[in-house]
Amino acid sequence: MIASDVFELLVSLLHPKIALIFTTEFTGVGALQKIKANATSNLVSLNYLDGRAIKDFDASEVEWHRLEAASGRVRALAPYDLTFVDPFHSYKSSLEALKLSLETTTGWVLVHDCLPTYELAEPTEVVGAWCGTTYEAITDLMRDPQNTRAWFIIDSDFGIGVMGPENSAHLISDAVTSDEVANWFALSTEARRELLKNENLNLFRPVHADRVAQLMKAVIAGQTVSVDGFRAATLATAETAGVEEVDHVSQQLNQKTAELDALRNSLSWRITKPLRAFGSILVGRKSGG
């Protein structure tokens, strides 16, 4: 499951009248290519300029705006029923883009790159694959006692943050203690990044893709659920699926090995051995010349 899949899933469940895709010059490209233009009655796509491209920005090439300027356009068309935001991945830019998305969206908000690997969570910008500290920004906002939205993070496509509509926070709970939350806010950026190495990612509310639709439908129906219950079964399912896939590949490999052995032991293979040796010599001479 990738971000565009989640976007289209919510479109099918919510039938939003107006949706926003809010990205930068480097982020959200994949989603923009896959999301259908007619997904909703009104689909708004806005980009803002941030990061290294500011230094090389040529206003004559394309109409880019800094986040401060783009925010005016975002607000002008609000409120949105559904927003997908893939911000520049510094903490400051991510936090500002997320706050703007939450401010202007009464419905659901999706955020890309919210559960990266340790390697991709470098705080400073890296050319190439980089998820930065967007995961910090969304966790800070969602773990804030003032947050009013239900939320979880899909453990797929580098982490897809899912935030429900306003006043839905009570619908999703987890087993994370208040002490664990307080500890999160006391940690440095590097200490937070270290948590991504830990297999226990409960603080980030990870949910596997095969349970996402079920969890979303529960929230839309106003049902109270624990995100932990959705995750545990999924992990077991994923492990079983992984074992089955390995077994399937092993069976295919064994079959191909048996076929190859049978061929090598066949009469025709033994008869043509001199011809294959001569062919190898010719190839060797040609490549050597």
Q: Give the model confidence (pLDDT) of 68-83 as tens digits.
A: 667 888 899 899 999 9
Q: Indicate whether 87 and 186 sit together in one domain.
A: yes
Give the domain extent around 43.
Answer: 3-223
Q: Would you say residue 113 has pLDDT above 70?
A: yes
Reference 98, options 54, 142, 65; nearest CA is: 142
Q: Band of the pLDDT at 31, cuts 50, 70, 90?
A: low
Mean pLDDT over 25-31 rounds to: 68
**Tally of residues, the chain:** 289
- In one-letter notation, the amino acid at residue 114 is C
Tell me what pLDDT residue 63 has: 45
Give how many domains the chain has, as a whole number. Answer: 2
Residue 68 near residue 54, CB atoms below 8 Å? no
Mean pLDDT over 186-205 rounds to: 89
* Domain presence at residue 75: yes
Tell me what pLDDT residue 242 has: 39
Q: Indicate whether 133 and 192 sit together in one domain.
A: yes
Question: What are the backbone dihedrals phi and psi of residue 261, each rounded to the nearest 5 degrees, phi first?
Answer: -65, -40
| More confident site: 262 or 212 | 212
Q: Indicate whether 75 and 201 sit together in one domain.
A: yes
Q: Would you say residue 60 has pLDDT above 90?
A: no
Q: Would you say residue 147 has pLDDT above 90?
A: yes
Q: Would you say residue 178 has pLDDT above 60?
A: yes
Tell me what pLDDT residue 256 has: 38
Q: Indicate whether 277 and 180 sit together in one domain.
A: no
Mean pLDDT over 194-222 rounds to: 90
Q: Indicate whether 73 and 156 sit together in one domain.
A: yes
Q: Band of the pLDDT at 51, cuts 50, 70, 90?
A: low
Q: Would you say residue 219 has pLDDT above 80?
A: yes
* Domain presence at residue 199: yes
* Domain presence at residue 232: no
Reference 142, options 119, 114, 123, 107; nearest CA is: 114
| More confident site: 143 or 240 | 143
CATH number at residue 199: 3.40.50
Q: Indicate whether 215 and 283 sit together in one domain.
A: no
Tell me what pLDDT residue 37 has: 60
* Domain presence at residue 230: no
Q: Indicate whether 99 and 59 sit together in one domain.
A: yes
Mean pLDDT over 152-156 rounds to: 93
Q: Indicate whether 153 and 188 sit together in one domain.
A: yes
Q: Indicate whether 267 and 138 sit together in one domain.
A: no
Q: Band of the pLDDT at 6, cuts 50, 70, 90?
A: very high
Distance from chain centroid for Cα 173: 22
Give the span between the Cα atoms of 135 and 288, in whole angstroms.
54
Q: Indicate whether 263 and 204 sit together in one domain.
A: no
Give the span between the Cα atoms of 47 and 71, in whole angstroms.
10
Tell me what pLDDT residue 183 has: 94
Mean pLDDT over 187-197 rounds to: 92
Q: Band of the pLDDT at 30, cuts 50, 70, 90?
A: low
* Domain presence at residue 229: no
- In one-letter notation, the amino acid at residue 70 is A
Q: Across the chain, what does the average pLDDT equal? A: 77
Reference 69, options 43, 95, 99, 47; nearest CA is: 47
| More confident site: 221 or 46 | 221
Tell me what pLDDT residue 108 has: 97
Instruction: Indicate left, alpha or beta for 288 from its phi (over 0: left) and psi (-120 to 50: alpha).
Output: alpha
Percent of the chain with pLDDT over 90: 48
Q: Would you say residue 244 has pLDDT above 70?
A: no
Q: Indicate whether 200 and 82 sit together in one domain.
A: yes
Q: Indicate whether 212 and 253 sit together in one domain.
A: no
